[in-house]
């Protein structure tokens, strides 16, 4: 009987290890997928910003920078 009991212990130990590895791979794949989706979103945002940058003239860019500086100075409480 000790052999059968040890066989059950070994069997369930192997099943537990295999299940842990399987679920670990699933979590790893999910994490990689989320990272890929996030990097794709960042790339799309960068391309959209680049396209918008090409469409702006120099004067518009200077005006936007001045507006951004005013907003930052208002946040700090500088008048």
The 10s digit of each residue's pLDDT in 6-46 is 888 888 899 999 999 999 999 999 999 999 999 999 999 99
**Which range of residues forms the domain containing residue 41?**
2-76
Residues contacting residue 55 through CB under 8 Å, at least 6 positions apart: none
Phi and psi angles of residue 78, each rounded to the nearest 5 degrees, phi first: -90, 130
pLDDT tier at 73, thresholds 50, 70, 90:
confident
Say what the pTM is: 0.55
> How many domains is the chain built from?
1
- Count of other CB atoms within 10 angstroms of residue 1: 5
Expressed in angstroms, the distance from the first to the final Cα of the chain is: 86
């Amino acid at each position: 009987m000790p052999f059968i009991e040890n066989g059950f212990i070994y069997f369930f130990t192997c099943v537990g290890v295999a299940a842990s590895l399987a679920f670990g791979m699933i979590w790893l794949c999910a994490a990689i997928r989320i990272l890929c989706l996030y990097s794709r979103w960042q790339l799309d945002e960068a391309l959209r910003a680049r396209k918008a940058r090409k469409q702006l003239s120099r004067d518009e860019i200077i005006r936007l920078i001045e507006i951004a500086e005013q907003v930052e100075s208002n946040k700090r409480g500088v008048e």
